[in-house]
Amino acid sequence: MNDKVHSAEASRDIQAMLETLRTVFGFRSFRPNQEGIIKGIMSGRDVFAVMPTGGGKSLCYQLPAKIMGGTAVVISPLISLMKDQVDAALENGIPAAFMNSSMTAQEISGVYRTLKQKTIKLLYIAPERFAMPHFIETLKTFTISLFAIDEAHCISEWGHDFRPDYLSLSLIPKVFPDVPVAAFTATATHKVQEDIIKKIGLRDPYIVRASFNRENLFYQVKQKSKVESQILEFLHEHQGESGIIYRTTRDSVTETAAFLVSKGVKALPYHAGLSSGERNRNQEAFNRDESPIIVATIAFGLGIDKSNVRFVVHADLPKNIESYYQETGRAGRDGEPAYCLLFFSRGDIPKIRYFIDQLTDEGERFIASEKLNQVVEYASHNVCRRRRLLEFFGEDYTLENCSACDICTGSIERIDITIDAQIIMSAISRTQQRFGIGHINDIVTGADTKRVRELKHNEIKTYGAGKHKDKRHWRFLINELLAQDMLRQEGDPYPVLKITPKGFNVLYGKEDAKALKRGEPATKTKLETGYGSGQYDEALFERLRSLRKKIAEEHQVPPYVIFSDRTLHEMCRHFPTTLPDMRRISGVGDAKLERYGEDFVGEIKKYLCENPGISVPESRPYDFDPVDRPKTKKKGETVEETYELFKLGLSLEDIAKQRNLATSTIAAHLERLIREGRDVDIDRFITPEKRKEIEDVFLSLGQWNLSPIVEHFNGAVSYEEARLTRAWLLRKTSG
């Protein structure tokens, strides 16, 4: 009997999960690992999940938070990101709020009041707040459904971004022994994973170590020469796209941003030397697509959740693979194709070594040097970039060709470089292996420099032996010999070239040297068609993107919060011209369909009328099972069903449950009924006092958008309450 009961409960949980996934988030199926994580949380079990950026980890705690009783507490160090996360949850119809140090005491009190009313499903806080004893005591008075710890690697000293304030999170399992804890991170080696589980004190956690393979990202490394001109050339190929350009220093950020602006490119700088106000304004402009390009140091990025970043450019060498992976991971979070370009020069290595040498702890210096060597190997070796990255995280990549990096898509030809390699190594040997890359290059190319003459290196046999080729060829060749372990660099801060035993075999003719000659990668078709997603109507996409931006400005949220690029692309493949068709588009949940469906359907209809020659695909089943396919009702029929249930005395939530619809949809039905003058007692849903407060804000702001109202009350007022009050006020003022 107990087994039957347990089986029935599990079945109900799965149905609730799938229904919430469809109606709230607008998806028909889970991404890999999401279902297992959610089931674990809902069964009361702790979870540890390593999921790459863009892998859908926020849904793993937002969905159970929506279903479970009480409030889910999400702990994140990303204060600048909290508002966007809350906005995104509210747009999906999930009551959410945040608390952080940027808020006034009055605003925080408002959040506490809403918590007491048991209406908040998601509460975002910073780890510093959890460390406050009075906050923990207050939290104990509320019903907590789960704790979600984002950026969990911050608790590990072995991680790349250790934060001491995270250590207080070890109190959670002790103070809240019956509440499940889910820890998430995008980057963690096995050693860091063990440390996180131990430090937090997770209890027999359900462990997920998802693949680190971001299939939608294209990786390329280019030899760095005149990097600002190279960046400009790249941007010309990616016009209209949003992207991040990383530089190492504040000065280089400022110079690159100014250079791009001087060339007519809209770009903004971001670094720690700017005032907090300017940083916030620039970040906000980037998030809201007002400036497509941001040039930044690594201080930027942890506070963004922007899903439509189409490229990330590293104009300087990253300090370690973890940082590089995390920074490139900010591209293509929506799952659509995105580009990751690294400009590599060995001249960047001494700059990073200088900072490493400033570390006082010998162990820290050793670890930092090892991490730098790993990045150099990644950038300089002619092997699949994806395989290299995945190997670092302990993951095997079995495919011979990833089809999405410069190595695998370039026209590769294996060439013999033995003679040129012997010329280089002869110059190194005849100068007693005491000189660096630049000087050896001068000798080989026959440069008439003062230093060459003073050292009489213009008299050695190898001087000028390579003058028939330019310096870039010989520099490339030296990099190739370093990558193949025929040469190595020794000494700081001015490393000299040494010949390895493998190199001496080539020098003395015992072995041949080979290299891969690479053409430009054939990425255009790959990036345009996507990964199995198909082409889309680009002209319609631009129109829908403009509409999205207009709506986002009205609601004061970033455009990607309205709909992701992926969702717009799907609209531009299937041309939905009715609300039932729009409902089938991935990423269109009930709340968004009700708020924006008519606008987007109208724009698509208008576009098709203006372009009668467009071939619209036949209606497809999308991803619905026959039993789930929505039945088209006559106009007004579904609203009347809601009204009949309202007259029976059912609450907003009960009507939604009875009709298997989101509460936001039911609120929209009631709004229409109120505006039509039907007998709807709004006091059943909102107290007269609260309604009066909301009315006053509507009138003081002088506009009818809902987002500013919800934002004004910092989550204490739901979209449904704001919607019904608006309808009541409009009816009252028009009557």
| Domain ranges across the chain | 2-209, 217-411, 413-518, 535-610, 637-734
Q: Can you name the CATH fold of 413-518?
A: Arc Repressor Mutant, subunit A (1.10.10)
The rounded Cα 310 to chain-centroid distance in angstroms is 11
CA atoms of 463 and 490, how far apart (whole Å): 23
pLDDT value, residue 622:
45
For 423, the token pair is 């010329």
CA atoms of 20 and 11, how far apart (whole Å): 14
User: Helices 437-445 and 471-483, interaxial angle, to 10°?
Assistant: 130
For 377, the token pair is 């190997």
Give the SS3 label for residue 154. Answer: helix
For 223, the token pair is 């030899």
Pairing of strands 47-50, 206-209: parallel
Mind spelling out the 3-state secondary structure of 643-661? HHHHHCCCCHHHHHHHHCC
Which residues make Cβ contacts (< 8 Å) with residue 414, sequence separation at least 6?
514, 515, 516, 517
**Under a CB-based contact definition with an 8 Å cutoff, are residues 471 and 479 in contact?**
no
DSSP H helices in 556-677: 559-562, 565-574, 579-583, 590-610, 637-647, 652-659, 663-675
**Under a CB-based contact definition with an 8 Å cutoff, are residues 326 and 185 in contact?**
no
Measured in degrees and rounded to the nearest 5, phi and psi for residue 416 equal: -90, 125
pLDDT value, residue 636:
52
Place of tokens 């409030």: 71
E strands, 474-606, where? Answer: 487-490, 496-499, 514-518
Amino acid identity, position 124:
Y
Give me the CATH code for the 217-411 domain, please.
3.40.50.300
Which residues make Cβ contacts (< 8 Å) with residue 440, sequence separation at least 6?
424, 427, 428, 431, 478, 497
DSSP H helices in 312-398: 321-328, 348-357, 362-380, 385-392
If the chain, 735 residues long, is cut into consecutive pieces of 10 residues, what is the mean pLDDT of each piece? 52 80 88 90 93 83 92 85 83 88 83 86 90 87 93 76 81 93 85 88 91 90 90 92 93 95 94 86 87 85 74 92 88 90 86 81 82 85 86 84 87 78 94 92 92 92 90 84 83 83 92 73 44 68 92 85 91 91 90 89 91 71 39 56 84 76 75 83 87 87 75 79 85 68
Pairing of strands 293-296, 242-246: parallel
Measured in degrees and rounded to the nearest 5, phi and psi for residue 74 equal: -105, 120
Half-sphere exposure in the Cβ direction for 156 (13 Å, CA): 22
CA atoms of 735 and 701, how far apart (whole Å): 21
CA atoms of 51 and 713, how far apart (whole Å): 34
pLDDT value, residue 623:
43
pLDDT value, residue 734:
62
Pairing of strands 487-490, 496-499: antiparallel
- The 96-99 sheet, strands edge to edge: 96-99, 122-125, 71-75, 144-149, 181-185, 47-50, 206-209
Give the SS3 label for residue 257. Answer: helix
Q: Can you name the CATH fold of 637-734?
A: Arc Repressor Mutant, subunit A (1.10.10)
Give the SS3 label for residue 155. Answer: helix
The rounded Cα 695 to chain-centroid distance in angstroms is 38
**Under a CB-based contact definition with an 8 Å cutoff, are residues 80 and 283 in contact?**
yes
CA distances from 479 to 377, 382, 488, 588 (A): 11, 11, 10, 50
Q: Can you name the CATH fold of 535-610?
A: DNA polymerase; domain 1 (1.10.150)
Q: Can you name the CATH fold of 2-209?
A: Rossmann fold (3.40.50)
For 350, the token pair is 């001494």
Give the SS3 label for residue 163. Answer: coil
Give me the count of residues in the chain.
735
Give the SS3 label for residue 118. Answer: coil
CA atoms of 15 and 582, how far apart (whole Å): 23
Q: What is the DSSP letter of 494?
A: S
Amino acid identity, position 110:
G
The model carries a pTM of 0.66
Same fold, 217-411 and 535-610: no
> 501 preceded by cis ω (within 30°)?
no
Look at the alpha carbons of 547, 550, 551, 556 in this order and tell me if their dihedral is positive or negative. positive
- Of 243, 249, 248, the C-alpha closest to 268 is 243
